[in-house]
Structure 1
Amino acid sequence: MFSKVLIANRGEIALRVIRACQEMGVATVAVHSTADADAMHVRMADESVCIGPPAGTLSYLSVPAIISACEITGAEAIHPGYGFLSENADFVQVVEDHDLTFIGPTAEHIRIMGDKITAKETMKALGVPCVPGSEGGVPTVEAALELGDEIGYPLIVKATAGGGGRGMKLARSRDELTVAFRSARSEAKSAFGNDEVYIEKYLGTPRHIEVQVFGDGKGSAVHLGERDCSLQRRHQKVFEEAPGPAITPEMRAEIGKTCAEAVARINYAGAGTIEFLYENGEFFFIEMNTRLQVEHPVTEAVYGVDLVREQIRVAAGLPMHFTQDDLHLQGHAIEVRINAEKLPNFSPCPGRITTFHAPGGLGVRMDSALYSGYAIPPYYDSLIGKLIVHGFDREEALARLKRALGELIVDGVDTTVPLFHALVNEPDIQSGDYNIHWLEHWLETNLGGS
């Protein structure tokens, strides 16, 4: 086992990793920008190193600064959390070149899954169901129109290097496809420096279902069920639950087995999430995230495992604590993402927290790095906390969520908490009858836009 781990991240996920390390008896190193000198993850770690000014490009994305922090402190391994450098294959290669251990998959697997065309081709070859569409990048408008005639409309044009909804355009007809193709390429070039796009059949009312997988890097892998992440705003998840309300035990076992076998065949190491669109009883692969997900706590709640601890164990060359036969779904869990944003426009709302009180009680978990007096900096993502609840069934989980939201106090800044107060009372949310378009429609009707 490692004696010391550096966490190349900030906020609640850095704190989450620090807690896992503390329970394992592993010393921790926090890195931070000058804006985060008073952050909770800095206070909680055994050591801390300032790696640059507030801008993420000059601190949390500075590979030389992070490697130097390892050398200064004697850290043997780096946990990337999520975001920042967590899916940067070049960074992983640098880590390995410096005889350090990256707590996550190999650079090769990150590269394969980081390019959406290569990822789709790989998964298709591994027996994972995929959305009908182009076999690779689509080079011209003419080729796009030909494909549209072949597979039918509506279609969606996506940047191969895309993410967060950028470089993604919908086309419901031939005329719209011409405009969408050119617009997606232009946006992709501007956002990612790569204008290659591909085309897929657009599903009208799908759910966003993701399967949690975990591999030991030696040919063995398991799945830990699925999460439903369909409640999204501008392709950003806000409400996640496990298990998915629309997924039967038989479906779960089948798609889980397919995903676990796929990652086992490529000797995948650590945590990964295979994401699907699900409609009319069918799963269609869209991408794989080669890292820990923001919503991993709901899976931990229903399976009773510590995914971060397992990441560290596998990276250290130790076996997983469990096999597939050891994993049994227990109850229902829901997570809501608390952002420092002002409704109804969801504009970032940094500022000083005057009062913070986390909810508690049976089945309630609050992952946050907030404290009273903390000043939320304006330089980073607006996520300030995750409220996770676990119950015997979905009805109990929703009741606990409603109760916990009533206990949560975050004064001094605007947050998205009022959104969740409203959502838990919606009949569709209570019944689990929603899809990836539901929240956008609800926001337009109830808040005058999204």
Structure 2
Amino acid sequence: MRLIKIAICISIFTFSSVAIAQEKSTPAPVSKALEGWSAEETLDNIRNFSVSDLIITSERALWYHRNASQTNKTAILVRRQSIMELPSAILREIGSIRAETALGSMTLDEFMASPESYAQGLVVVHKGKIAYETYPGMHELDPHFTASVSKILGSLVIDLLIDDGLIDERKSLGNYVPEFVGSAWENVPVRDALDMTVGLNVSEYDRTSDISIISRLMAAELGEPINGKLENMLDVMLDAQPQGKPGDSFIYSSVVTQSLVFLAEAVSKKSWSDYFDERVWSKMGVEGPLQVHLSPDGIAIVHGPMSINLRDLARLGMLYTPSWSQISTERIVSPKALDRIQSTPRTNEFYLAGNGPAFMERLGDNTVKTAARQWDAIWTDGDFFKAGLNTQGLYVSPKRDLVIAYFSTEPSQQMQRYLRPIATSGLFD
């Protein structure tokens, strides 16, 4: 039973869980999120919620999506600036954009209105103005869990430290994190940690045994013992072993994202949450708090989940666009940091030889160039995208000054099918 729970936990923050989820359960109707929960239901969810509820998309998953702070230790990053409003300039044509989904060929309006889509919210922001916005399954300011979308915040923090001259991405993790010295992490270049090419036995798929690194990491995050032993995240990571050379293969792993957390804290001398608040969140004219959920020993789980409202997730995407000044008091994503994403040396061949095909299938798009810096897909036109379990996502098109953000409670990632059609529709050129 423990192994099953751990294996399920692993799938929370990765793209590999769809088949399991589809076999086990039908998602709860999103209308329940709008109706709310009784006192008895809330207490039952708090007392009995299991991460397995997320993978089978039970009714408790719908509850957790907006109430994660009731089950996880949480650092609350509050708003420090006045709200910088996103004005509306609605383009109704967006709703008529069509895509092939598991529900058939549907317009975006039809998909978002269908109870079978389990869509909770979607917003399109163009040149700092809301061009499309709908909330079929949530209230507009509700916090919602991000799952793996939060991984890109891990790379953002490292890019800030690189810009400050405090990290050289060509150097190894062992140059900065004393705890990594003497372990397999010591000689992994920072660039390979950013791009999930570490060459260690930390694959997201290595969950056939409860002694694998990924299984033990997830157990440590939940405060669950393995073979009667409670472990912490760092000790588990230090047991990783080489499995190839760094840089040789793109292997998706939440463990790798957590290495960036320890790197950021070692260099900044601050907790990850405090540093992100200081350098990013406190500069932004957001509408709500950012909830950074923590492991039992207080480590920010940056690989996922965090909780945020939808427009604020879009604002994070806007940091990478020309409209950054409309939502932030200073430029946070530098031109150099943006170029490091768009001009990554990771090739298409490299992407296809690793976990790239799974992302392309979800998107219904075979034109993806590669992945890097914790983003799942990067295109030749400079656009990039990050997904999360149960269909959460953030799509950024710097050239078009366009951001698409969405939340859902459905495992098959069908909303991704609309991203490239929206971006390449000609409406934003």
TM-score (structure 1 length as normaliser): 0.29
Name the larger-Rg structure.
1
Greater share of helix: 2
TM-score (structure 2 length as normaliser): 0.30
